[in-house]
Amino acid sequence: MSLSVNINEKANLIWAIADKLTGVYKPHEYGKVILPLTVIRRFDCILSDTKQAVLDKHNSMPSDLPMRDNFLKKASGYEFYNTSKYTFETLLDDSNNIEANFRNYINGFSDNVKQIIEKFKFDNEIQTMAQKNILYIVIQEFTTPKADLHPNKISNLEMGYIFEEIIRRFSEAHNEDAGQHYTPREVIELMVNILFSNDNDILTTNAIKTLYDPACGTGGMLSVAQDYLKKLNNSATLLPFGQEINDETFAICKADMLIKDNNADNIKNGNTLSGDEFAGEKFDYILSNPPFGREWKNEKTSVEREAKLGAGGRFQAGLPAVSDSQMLFLQTAISKMKEPQNGGAKIAIIHNGSPLFTGDAGSGPSEIRRYILENDLLEAIIALPNDIFYNTGIATYIWVLSNKKEQRRKGKVQLINANELYEKRRKSLGNKRNDIPKYYIDEITNIYADFRKNEISKIFDNEDFGYSKIIVERPLKDENGNPVLKGGKPVVNPDLRDTENVPLTEDIQEYFNREVIPYAPDAWIDEKKTKVGYEIPFTRYFYKYVPPRKSEDIMKEILDLEKSLEGSLEGIFND
């Protein structure tokens, strides 16, 4: 059975438990029960093998023993445990006291698991289900073979998929933006490929590296990066760090980290933009798919306060429009890069098209691009195929940034148009109609790693994306056509004012003499108003001209069509 089939089958079976909630809960509320119970059941299954050992250790120690927590973790074999005498199975032995016993069971978890459960705000749901007499039935459903989540049956990787699939269904039922928590695995694998490409340190040694995601969701990017590294080099270690604003996805991410023996304290809950939980910390790698097209007006005061700190904050380059927070996450990622003298850092982050070109010269977005390019941080931008995300079909791009560029990449940017490298899915999943198969992942990775030009890869100098926006003024003229003077200088005619974008690769005066003076000999440049801007018109560089069809071909087609229609009509009337 394939991985995807097993995941969908198991997710279907778990989600089917929601049938027992009908009447008490509306469909869009099912996730409030199914999500936390899936997490709790996973913990229950994991701890089942050492349950008795934990109880024995728990009963043999005084409750105030200083090292008690460590002894119980050692007995369980994990960084968490449960000291309640109950399991999901034994809870079914006493249907009359199911609520009290279930609460006893939950309170038996170690504090780190209880904190996760609290994030689901599950206490109210326990009470509701008990009052409506369905708590016993639902727990009973979670003890059947279809909800067996023991690691022998479901690997950590598969469990991560199942969590995300259940979230996706819950979000869709709730008419929420499912994709904000759910990045397709093939996209993450491509990003991780790019991130580790040509990095001999992590690929060949027993290095210990750090990975950060400022919008980590359920932790999919962190998990895939870890799993991928194990396949490439089992002796290297990747320590994951992340921050997530949504309580439920944060809880799942933290649970996933606990289960995988990671330090779950490195996963923080909160708003990254207004409350950076990793202030001052730096990382080896940053990997993220932050929300795009999301306004940040609720965080405006905090963001603007931090922007005033300049280099002491995250937003020194500029602020994007309040309607879209993408470039705030981009700057957050940049601020978390380890300094080059400490080994440097690399970023792979997903954006839609707007960060490429929105904003005029001098605007926040343009200034952010200017900062990135003038500091030689941008290595590559990869255009992904459309319709590969679950919640959107629009164009998306992977930005690759580094402050430890190879010599051949210094001062250069590689644009890779992978828009056509996909295969159609047999069945759509939300807006996801296409997949990027492994052979295309490998092809894109190789094109990036080889840093070569071809039909879908172009290489530019950083300054190719820059321009000087000049203000072209013309004089106000009297009725005789003579310039009106004031203080010996011509008076500006605002109606004739114009602008020109002069590429940084050209001399402004030479451009002006060639492109403006022949058509407006009396024009001049107001040099005080000249601004430098940057944009990356990605699609323009890969535009292919398709000549229109010849008129005679079109005419022949029309005549042939008319003849066929006449024949069809004649057949109808003759009948």
The C-alpha atoms of residue 255 and residue 219 are separated, in whole angstroms, by: 10
Q: What's the pLDDT at 276?
A: 97
Query: 351 near 378, Cβ under 8 Å?
Result: no
Rounded-to-integer distance, Cα 575 and Cα 564, Å: 17
Residue 432 has a pLDDT of: 82
The pLDDT value recorded for residue 9 is 83
> What is the model's pLDDT at position 4?
54
pLDDT tens sequence across 436-473: 999 999 999 999 999 999 999 999 999 999 999 999 99
Q: What's the residue count for the chain?
A: 575
- Going by C-alpha positions, the residue among 452, 461, 457, 497 that lies closest to residue 476 is 497
Would you say residue 572 has pLDDT above 90? no
Contacts of 200 (CB under 8 A, 6+ apart): none
pLDDT > 90: percent of the chain: 72
- In sequence order, which residues have a C-beta less than 8 Å from that of residue 113 and are 6 or more positions away? 43, 80, 82, 255, 258
The CA R_g of the chain, rounded to the nearest whole Å, is 30
CA pair distance 129, 132, nearest whole angstrom: 5
pLDDT at 178: 42
Helix, strand, coil % over all residues of the chain, rounded to 5 = 50, 15, 35
> Which pLDDT score is estimated for 309?
95
- Dihedral, CA of residue 221, residue 27, residue 258 and residue 145, to nearest 10: -110
Please state the φ and ψ torsions of residue 255, each to the nearest 5 degrees.
-60, -45
- Tell me, what's the pLDDT at 426? 85
**Which of 167-181, 409-423, 460-474 bottoms out in mean pLDDT, i.e. has the lowest?**
167-181
Joined tokens for residue 465: 């994306």
Amino acid at 379: E
Q: What is the DSSP letter of 472?
A: E
pTM of the model: 0.88
Please name every residue paired with 241 in a beta bridge, in sequence order, or none if there are none.
Answer: 212
- What pLDDT was estimated at residue 575? 55
Q: Was domain 184-463 assigned CATH 3.40.50.150? A: yes
Residue in the structure block whose two tokens are 């968490």: 80
Beta strands in 189-334 (DSSP E): 208-213, 237-244, 267-269, 285-288
**pLDDT value of position 428:** 76
Mean pLDDT of 247-263: 90
| CB 533 within 8 Å of CB 360 | yes
Q: Which residue has better confidence, 533 or 179?
A: 533
Q: What is the mean pLDDT of residues 466-488?
A: 94
Task: Give the per-residue pLDDT at 6.
Answer: 67
Handedness of CA 74, 76, 77, 81 (dihedral sign): negative
Q: How confident is the model at residue 8 (pLDDT cuts 50, 70, 90)?
A: confident
Asked if the model's pLDDT at residue 153 lies above 50, the reply is yes
> Bridge partners of 399?
349, 381
Which residue has 């119980």 as its token pair? 72
Query: For residue range 221-230, what is the model confidence (pLDDT) as tens digits?
Result: 998 899 888 8
Over pLDDT 70: what percentage of the chain? 95
Q: Which two tokens stand for residue 405?
A: 């560029």
- Tell me what the mean pLDDT of segment 286-296 comes to: 93
Q: What is the mean pLDDT of residues 399-405?
A: 97
Task: Kindly indicate the confidence band of residue 102, based on its pLDDT and cuts at 50, 70 and 90.
Answer: very high
pLDDT band at 345 (very low <50, low <70, confident <90, very high): very high
Listed residue (532, 530, 541) closest to 463, CA to CA: 532
Mean pLDDT of 136-149: 93
Exposed, middle or buried, 221 (CB in 10 Å: 0-12/13-18/19+)? Answer: buried
131's CB contacts (< 8 A; 6+ apart) are none
Chain segment 39-95, per-residue pLDDT in tens:
999 999 999 999 999 999 999 998 888 899 999 999 999 999 999 999 999 999 999
* pLDDT mean over 514-532: 96
Helices (H), 2-134: 3-16, 31-47, 51-60, 68-76, 88-91, 98-107, 111-119, 123-131
Confidence (pLDDT) at 65 = 86
Q: In 3D, which of 164, 197, 202, 395 has the Cα closest to residue 292?
A: 395
In sequence order, the 6+-apart residues with CB closer than 8 A to the CB of 575 are none
What is the reported pLDDT for 290?
94
Measured CA distances, 65 to 54, 69, 203, 504 (Å): 15, 9, 43, 70
Q: CA 169, CA 176: separation in Å to the nearest integer?
A: 10
* pLDDT for the residue 179: 44
Q: Helix, strand or coil for residue 271? A: coil
118 pLDDT tier (thresholds 50, 70, 90): very high
C-alpha distances out from residue 262 to 241, 265, 411, 515, Å: 10, 9, 38, 61
What's the pLDDT score for residue 181? Answer: 46
Q: How confident is the model at residue 502 (pLDDT cuts 50, 70, 90)?
A: very high
Which amino acid appears at position 504 of this protein?
L
Please check the confidence at residue 1 and state whether its pLDDT lies above 50: no
Domain definitions of the chain by residue range:
3-172, 184-463, 465-539
Q: Are 428 and 217 in contact (CB under 8 A)?
A: no
Instruction: List, for residues 538-570, the tens digit of each pLDDT value.
Output: 999 998 777 787 777 788 888 878 777 766 555
